[in-house]
């Protein structure tokens, strides 16, 4: 037998069952007569011991085990959430159509308030569109069963209906939240809807550029100027918009169901290295000075230069959930910008 | 008969928290993730529950790490925002929570590549090479080599950090 390599030695030391009995015998026979391998073995054994004790010593000193019932309760809460997301898939078309209708209504009803950010039961069950509209546009909040059970509820963002109409145009920012009020809103639009196509291409670019300049001033040096991208999270079940810092607690207690984002103008696209993985970070502005960031990981290169779509699994930063992410580049893009974007994607 | 998760839970919970702590370095977060892992486990019947648990935990920790990196980046981008200062503060206090021993291990682990670190931690959790291979995408044969390299690097970096702090 030739010398024993480090990997095999490692398996031997660990007594791993990837080695057969014959392997073990061969290793031992070799070790008995090869001083070089004996030395290697001695060092490896020592290193293994040290590594194990370093790892061992690092844990928290005491860990209380919560009652198992707590886990059972958590699992049930999780099932509830999963069911919700199924409904949300059904909502897709209902919501898209609602926007159109809501915009229409807005012409007549002026500054009437529309409750956003709630998960209305009517929309969730994807009832006929007209009923969805009623659910969305009703001045008094329509609350889902799930939320009503909760004792506390942060105030929902209310915006005039005409702003809702504005929000349906991706070119415009969603209305600003008041200070201290978390912006929770559904951006009621859907790229699948052909009626929005024109507006989408034209204006977001100007806006994105303005935002980029601002971000660059703010220190985001590697933002890509002019990257014209329209991002949407498709089938990303739940997306929390603001207040990431407090998110963990809220998610844990399921105090409020996360709200879904549909489609937002992209503010910046930056690449990021994370221990050898290349990830793309896409920042979108959901309201004045409020941003949400998406990370596209393991992005597949898309060689077509004129018009391309990248689809990839995306980890939503806010909720740590994986969804489907699409970057579409349409219209004229300067070659510099496109190169920059492609570099990022690659 | 179904798998008795309650027993597995009592036997494994603490190990799982320790495993997660070596990756997220926050006791509360480690416990929260460990509970999430068990909550996801209920109703499943894996052949090797322990390996299943650590694999799911490794995935959650990986996502967590990515989120954390992104958050840092995001904060850089938005440093004019007042929120940034609020969010940055807990990071520091988390650091202080760690013992010196934990901090030097953390630094040493950070010097490893993502995959080497994962392999090493899964090994530390007692998974066999086949299981580690499945989680890390390596072949079973390369697990040993990766482990040997990772352990060596860990000890090396740790010792040089210790030497540096003694010299100071």
Question: What pLDDT does residue B162 have?
Answer: 82
**Are residues A45 and A130 located together in one domain of the fold?**
no
Put simply, whether A279 touches B (Cβ < 8 Å) is yes
Is the pLDDT reported for residue A262 higher than 50? no
Q: Say what the pLDDT of residue A75 is.
A: 83
A96 vs B70, which has greater pLDDT? B70
What is the percent of chain B where pLDDT is above 90? Answer: 39
Question: Which residues form the domain of A28?
Answer: 6-56
A249 touches chain B (CB under 8 A): no
Say yes or no to pLDDT of B41 above 50. Answer: yes
Mean pLDDT confidence for B15-41? 90
Q: Residue A87 burial by CB count (10 A; 0-12/13-18/19+): exposed, middle or buried?
A: middle
- Domain ranges for chain B, please list them: 1-98, 99-168
Residue A78 has pLDDT above 60, yes or no: yes
**In B42-139, alpha helices (H):** 49-77, 82-97, 100-110, 114-124, 129-136
Contact B121 A6 (CB under 8 A): no
In chain A, residues 35-54 whose CB comes closer than 8 Å to chain B: 44, 47-48, 50-52, 54
Query: How far is the C-alpha of B118 from the C-alpha of B130, rounded, in Å?
Result: 14
Query: Are B144 and A315 an interchain contact pair (Cβ–Cβ within 8 Å)?
Result: no
- Tell me if chain B has a CB within 8 Å of the CB of A270: yes
Q: Is residue A62 assigned to a domain?
A: no
Contact A59 B39 (CB under 8 A): no
* Chain A positions in Cβ-Cβ contact with residue B106 (cut-off 8 Å): 58
User: Does A1 reside within a domain?
Assistant: no
The answer to whether residues A259 and A329 belong to one domain is yes
Chain A residue with the nearest C-alpha to that of B19: A59
DSSP state of A267: E
Exposure string of A283-304, with b = 16+ CB inside 10 Å and e = fewer, is: bbbbbebbbbbbbbbebeebee
Say whether B105 and A74 touch across the interface (CB within 8 A): no
The pLDDT of residue B88 is above 80: no
Model confidence band, residue A130 (pLDDT cutoffs 50, 70, 90): very low
pLDDT digits (tens, 9 = 90+) for A8-64: 999 999 999 889 999 999 999 999 999 999 999 999 999 999 999 988 877 777 788
**Six-digit token pair at A61?**
């000193």
Mean pLDDT of B110-118: 90
Within 8 A by CB and 6+ apart from B108, the residues are A54, B154, B157, B158, B161
Distance CA B52, CA B38 (A): 10
* Residue B37: per-residue pLDDT: 92
Residue A329 host element (H or E): strand A321-329
Residue the block writes with tokens 């994370």: A274
Q: Under an 8 A CB cutoff, do A74 and B108 touch? A: no
Closest Cβ opposite residue A44 in set B36, B128, B148: B148
- Rounded mean pLDDT of B3-10? 91
Please indicate if any CB of chain B lies within 8 Å of the CB of A239.
Answer: no
Pair (A39, A74) in one structural domain? no
If asked whether residues A12 and A128 sit together in one domain, one would say no
* pTM strictly above 0.90: no
By Cβ distance, the residue of B43, B70, B105 closest to A54 is B105
Containing A40, the helix (H) or strand (E) segment is helix A35-56
Exposure string over A127-155, b if 16+ CB within 10 A, otherwise e:
bebeebbbbbbeeeebbbebbeeeeeeee
For chain A, how many structural domains are there in total?
Answer: 2
Are A118 and A182 spatial neighbours (Cβ–Cβ below 8 Å)?
no
CA distance B29 to chain A (A): 9
A263 and A331 together in one domain? yes
A47 and A115 together in one domain? no
Is residue A315 predicted with pLDDT exceeding 90? Answer: no
Q: Which of A186, A287, A289 is nearest to A238 (CA)?
A: A186
Highest mean pLDDT among A54-58, A78-82, B55-59 belongs to B55-59
CATH class of B1-98: mainly alpha
Q: What is the CATH number of domain B99-168?
A: 1.10.10.10
CA distance A216 to chain B (A): 8
Residue A63 lies in a domain: no
Q: Can you give the C-alpha Rg of chain B in angstroms?
A: 18
For CA atoms B108, B70, A295, B41, the dihedral sign is positive
A42/A76 same-domain check: no
d(CA B83, CA A162): 29
Q: Which residue has the higher pLDDT, A138 or A61?
A: A61
Look over chain B and give the mean of its residue pLDDT values, rounded to a whole number: 81
Q: Say which of B114, B121, B146 has its CB closest to residue A277.
A: B114
Q: Which pLDDT belongs to residue A242?
A: 29
Query: Token pair for residue B150?
Result: 């990772």
In our burial notation (b when 16+ CB lie closer than 10 A, e otherwise), range A157-184 reads bbbbbbbbbbbbbbbbbbbbbeeeebbb
Beta partners for residue A265, in sequence order: A230
The pLDDT confidence band at residue B1, using thresholds 50, 70 and 90, is: low
Q: Is the distance from CB of A296 to CB of A279 less than 8 angstroms? A: yes
* Same domain, yes or no: A163 and A270: yes
Instruction: Please tell me the predicted confidence (pLDDT) of residue B52.
Output: 92
Q: Are residues A45 and A72 in the same domain?
A: no
Which residues of chain B have a CB within 8 Å of the CB of A78?
39-40
- Considering A89-103, A124-138, A274-288, A299-313, the range whose residues carry the highest mean pLDDT is A274-288
Quote the ipTM score.
0.82
User: From the list A8, A70, A295, which residue is nearest B70 (CB)?
Assistant: A295
A18:B77 CB<8 A: no
Looking at the structure, tell me whether residues A87 and A112 fall in a common domain.
Answer: yes
Range scoring the smallest mean pLDDT among A257-261, A317-321, B67-71: A257-261
Which residues of chain B neighbour A52 with C-beta distances below 8 Å? 124
pLDDT in tens, B89-101: 444 444 456 777 8
Q: DSSP character for A156?
A: P
Once rounded to an integer, what is the mean pLDDT over residues B55-69? 81
Mean pLDDT of A240-248: 32
Candidates A310, A315, A329; CA nearest to A236 is: A315
The answer, yes or no, to whether residue A114 has pLDDT greater than 60, is no
Nearest CA to CA, how far is B105 from chain A (Å)? 7
Predicted local confidence at residue B35, as pLDDT: 92
Q: What is the mean pLDDT of chain A?
A: 48
Residues A45 and A76 in one domain: no
Check CB contact of B138 with chain A, cutoff 8 Å.
Answer: no
Residue in chain B closest to A270 (alpha carbons) equals B73
Spatial separation of the C-alpha atoms in residues B140 and B145, rounded to whole Å = 10
Proportion of chain A above pLDDT 90, given as a percent = 12
Q: Is the pLDDT of residue B70 over 50?
A: yes
Q: Identify from A3, A4, A7 which residue to disrupt to test chain B contact, counting B C-beta atoms within 10 A and taking the largest count.
A: A7
Q: What phi-psi label fits residue B63: left (phi over 0), alpha (psi between -120 and 50 degrees) or beta?
A: alpha
CB contact under 8 A, B71 and A54: no
Which of A51-55, A157-161, A193-197, A246-250 holds the top average pLDDT? A51-55
User: Of chain B residues 75-134, which have a CB less than 8 A from chain A?
Assistant: 76-81, 83, 86-87, 90, 101-102, 105-106, 108, 113-115, 120-121, 123-124, 128-130
Q: Say what the pLDDT of residue A42 is.
A: 93
Which residue is listed with tokens 């570099």?
A343
Using a CB-CB cut-off of 8 Å, the residues of chain B touching A48 are 151
The whole-number average pLDDT for the span B22-33 is: 87
């Amino acid at each position: 037998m030739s010398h024993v390599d480090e990997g095999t030695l490692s398996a031997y030391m660990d007594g791993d069952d990837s080695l057969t009995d014959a392997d073990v015998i061969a290793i031992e026979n070799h070790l008995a007569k090869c001083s070089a391998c004996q030395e290697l073995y001695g060092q490896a054994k020592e290193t293994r011991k040290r590594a194990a004790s370093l790892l061992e010593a690092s844990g928290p000193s005491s860990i209380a085990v919560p009652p198992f019932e707590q886990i059972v309760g958590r699992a049930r809460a999780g099932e509830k959430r999963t069911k919700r997301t199924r409904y949300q898939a059904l909502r897709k078309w209902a919501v898209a159509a609602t926007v159109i209708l809501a915009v229409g209504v807005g012409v007549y009803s002026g500054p009437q308030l529309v409750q956003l950010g709630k998960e209305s039961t009517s929309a969730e069950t994807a009832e006929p569109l007209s009923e969805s509209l009623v659910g969305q546009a009703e001045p008094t909040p329509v609350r889902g069963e799930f939320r009503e059970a909760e004792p506390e509820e942060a105030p929902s963002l209310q915006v005039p209906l005409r702003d809702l109409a504005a929000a349906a145009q991706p070119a415009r920012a969603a209305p600003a939240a008041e200070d201290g009020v978390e912006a929770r809103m559904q951006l009621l639009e859907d790229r699948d809807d052909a009626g929005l196509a024109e507006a989408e291409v034209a204006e977001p670019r100007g806006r994105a550029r303005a935002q980029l300049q601002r971000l660059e001033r703010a220190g985001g040096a590697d933002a890509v100027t002019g990257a014209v991208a329209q991002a949407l999270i498709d089938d990303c079940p739940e997306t929390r918009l603001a207040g990431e810092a407090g998110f963990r607690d809220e998610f844990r207690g399921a105090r409020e169901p996360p709200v879904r984002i549909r489609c937002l103008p992209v503010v910046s696209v930056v690449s990021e290295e994370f221990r050898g993985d290349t990830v793309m970070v896409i920042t979108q502005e959901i309201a004045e000075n409020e941003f949400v960031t998406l990370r596209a990981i393991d992005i597949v290169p898309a060689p077509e230069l004129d018009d391309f779509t990248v689809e990839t699994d995306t980890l939503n930063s806010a909720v740590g959930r994986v969804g489907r992410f699409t970057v579409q580049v349409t219209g004229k893009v300067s070659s510099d910008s496109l190169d920059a974007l492609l570099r990022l994607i690659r | 008969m179904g798998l008795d998760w309650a027993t597995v839970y009592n036997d494994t919970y603490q190990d799982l928290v320790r495993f997660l702590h070596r990756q997220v370095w926050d006791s509360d977060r480690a416990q929260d993730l460990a509970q999430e892992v068990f909550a996801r486990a209920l109703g499943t019947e894996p052949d090797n529950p322990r390996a299943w648990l650590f694999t799911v935990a490794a995935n959650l920790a990986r996502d967590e790490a990515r989120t954390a990196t992104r958050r840092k980046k995001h904060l850089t981008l938005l440093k004019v925002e007042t929120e940034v200062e609020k969010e940055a503060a807990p990071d520091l206090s988390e650091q202080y929570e760690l013992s010196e021993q934990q901090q030097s291990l953390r630094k040493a682990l950070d010097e490893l590549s993502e995959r080497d670190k994962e392999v090493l931690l899964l090994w530390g959790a007692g998974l066999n090479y086949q299981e580690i291979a499945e989680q890390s995408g390596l072949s079973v044969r390369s697990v040993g080599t990766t482990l040997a390299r990772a352990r060596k690097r860990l000890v090396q970096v740790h010792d040089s950090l210790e030497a540096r702090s003694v010299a100071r």
